[in-house]
Amino acid sequence: MRALARVQEWYGPHSSTAAEWPVDALMMAKGDTTVSVVLPARDEENTVGDIVAAIRRDLVERTPLVNEILVVDSNSTDATAQRAREAGARVVAQGEVLSHLPPLTGKGEALWKGLAASKGDIVVYIDADLRSFGAHYVSGLVGPLLVDADTQFVKATYERPYIGSDGAAQQGGGGRVTELVARPLLNMFWPELAGFAQPLGGEYAARREVLERVPFVTEYGVEFGLLVDLLQLIGLDAMAQVDLGHRTHTHQSIPALGRMAGQIMLTAWSRLERQGRVLASEPPAHTLLQFGLEGQADLVDVAVAERPPLASLVLEEDLA
Ligand SMILES: O=c1ccn([C@@H]2O[C@H](COP(=O)(O)OP(=O)(O)O[C@H]3O[C@H](CO)[C@@H](O)[C@H](O)[C@H]3O)[C@@H](O)[C@H]2O)c(=O)[nH]1
Ligand SMILES: O=C(O)[C@H](O)COP(=O)(O)O
């Protein structure tokens, strides 16, 4: 009950909508602060170009709110890098950033490499598979950071329909892993975070100095890990939420979401262990036996790894 009261107390003062952060007003607040937009992209040739072009048109050329657009090409096998470059982004290959380190995989790795390769004081992450993107996604996320010095991290919320193969939208049907896995876990173990309506969403912004002080879990554990670790590092009152309206994206299959769910559960477990809240006599298994339509079995690995806080790495390299 105490946690719920805490969420209620936090919610009002730390929630806003994108409409409350008009770009022209933000330009006054921006001053010398630089803003990087980082898009992780694996095989997103159908969507990445339009997203980059919209940011470039509305937030670089029309009003210079954004200083840098960086696409991290996450081992794509399609024309993602070319489309992103043509639309005006700088593109880096995930494996070529900090290439002296052994490569890791997945979205969390792309985000960490994007942090290392970008320069802005504020870093905005935007998924490259969005079909509902508008410039207000970026301005809404940076608004609280530019205007309020106490805000360190801003997470998006939105209505998330499920779009069926016939194109029909089912209101509230999207975010299946959020509803079935992430939200129950957060409410059980980190109830202070229960007010984040879309904890797994890929759109959020933070001050670089804060992002460089937390580890990044690889694969799809990254958003869950960041929320839990940032709560511990900066506290709930330095975290805010902005309603961006509506979000549609490319849905993954149920087996793929099962693997994502496994990665998120392992991330939660690692944080429970690290925070001294569970004592494991043996680590959880990280294999998942999945079954296809014909009943065929497939053993997959849902292990996640972790990159250390970027700041610790820079320090280590400075000392070496
Ligand atoms: O190895 C990868 C996998 C994904 N991506 C990119 O990451 C973004 C999100 O990935 P996606 O597969 O579309 O994830 P979703 O099914 O949409 O999963 C949701 O839940 C995940 C777990 O929190 C989040 O990482 C996602 O941002 C969020 O949209 C997209 O731009 C991908 O191209 C990579 O860069 N590398
Ligand atoms: O955020 C989630 O829960 C996953 O990305 C699944 O989203 P979807 O159900 O909208 O595909």
CB 203 within 8 A of CB 175: no
CB 221 within 8 A of CB 110: no
User: Mean pLDDT throughout 288-300?
Assistant: 93
Q: What separation in Å is there between the alpha carbon of 41 and the centre of ligand 1?
A: 8
Longest dimension (CA), the chain: 60
- What is 146-199 written as a DSSP string? HH-TT--EEEEEEE--EE-TTS-EETT---HHIIIIIHHHHHHH-GGGGG-S-T
User: Which strand (E) or helix (H) includes residue 123?
Assistant: strand 122-125
Domain ranges of the chain: 2-252
Q: In this structure, what are the phi and psi dihedrals at residue 171, rounded to the nearest 5 degrees?
A: -55, 135
Cα–Cα distance between 94 and 97 in angstroms, integer? 6
Q: What's the CATH fold of domain 2-252?
A: Spore Coat Polysaccharide Biosynthesis Protein SpsA; Chain A (3.90.550)
Q: pTM score, two decimals?
A: 0.97
Q: Is the CB of 225 under 6 A from ligand 1?
A: no
Q: Among positive and negative, which fits the CA dihedral 141, 207, 84, 157?
A: negative
Number of the ligand closest to the Cα of 131: 1
Instruction: Tell me the residue type at 164.
Output: G
**Measuring CA to CA, how many Å separate 283 from each of 26, 148, 286, 287, 305?**
47, 42, 9, 12, 14
Q: Is the CB of 163 under 6 A from ligand 2?
A: no
What does the pLDDT look like over 187-243, one tens digit per residue? 999 999 999 999 999 999 999 999 999 999 999 999 999 999 999 999 999 999 999
Q: Is the CB of 132 under 6 A from ligand 1?
A: no
Q: What separation in Å is there between the alpha carbon of 63 and the centre of ligand 2?
A: 32
Q: Is the CB of 40 under 6 A from ligand 1?
A: yes
- Nearest-CA residue for ligand 1 atom 8 is 127
CA-based R_g, the chain, Å: 19
Cα–Cα distance between 271 and 66 in angstroms, integer? 34
Q: Is the CB of 247 under 6 A from ligand 1?
A: no
**Measuring CA to CA, how many Å separate 237 from each of 50, 181, 253, 276, 290?**
35, 25, 36, 24, 41
User: Which strand (E) or helix (H) includes residue 16?
Assistant: strand 15-17
User: Does the pLDDT value for residue 114 go beyond 80?
Assistant: yes
Q: What separation in Å is there between the alpha carbon of 286 and the centre of ligand 1?
A: 20
Q: Is the CB of 200 under 6 A from ligand 2?
A: yes
When pLDDT is cut at 50, 70 and 90, the band that residue 318 belongs to is low
Instruction: Tell me the residue type at 22.
Output: P
Cβ density class 76-94: b for 16+ within 10 Å, e for less? beebbbebbbebebebbeb
CB 135 within 8 A of CB 54: yes
- Nearest-CA residue for ligand 1 atom 1 is 106
**Measuring CA to CA, how many Å separate 128 from each of 13, 43, 198, 202, 225?**
30, 9, 17, 9, 20
Q: What separation in Å is there between the alpha carbon of 160 and the centre of ligand 2?
A: 8
Q: First CA to last CA across the chain, in angstroms? A: 49
When pLDDT is cut at 50, 70 and 90, the band that residue 172 belongs to is confident
Q: Is the CB of 109 under 6 A from ligand 1?
A: no
What does the pLDDT look like over 6-55, one tens digit per residue? 999 999 999 999 999 999 999 999 999 999 999 999 999 999 999 999 99
Q: In this structure, what are the phi and psi dihedrals at residue 112, rounded to the nearest 5 degrees?
A: -65, -40
Calculate ∠ Cα 223-63-57, nearest 5°. Answer: 75
The first and second tokens of residue 299, run together, are: 């053993």
The chain-wide mean pLDDT, for the chain, equals 96
User: Does the pLDDT value for residue 319 go beyond 70?
Assistant: no
Place of tokens 């999207």: 174
- Nearest-CA residue for ligand 1 atom 12 is 252
User: Does the pLDDT value for residue 320 go beyond 70?
Assistant: no
Residue of 129, 220, 252 to mutate, ligand 2, most atoms within 8 A of C-beta: 252
Q: What separation in Å is there between the alpha carbon of 200 and the centre of ligand 2?
A: 8
Cα–Cα distance between 52 and 71 in angstroms, integer? 9
Q: In this structure, what are the phi and psi dihedrals at residue 257, rounded to the nearest 5 degrees?
A: -70, -30
High-pLDDT (> 70) share of the chain, %: 98
- Nearest-CA residue for ligand 1 atom 4 is 107
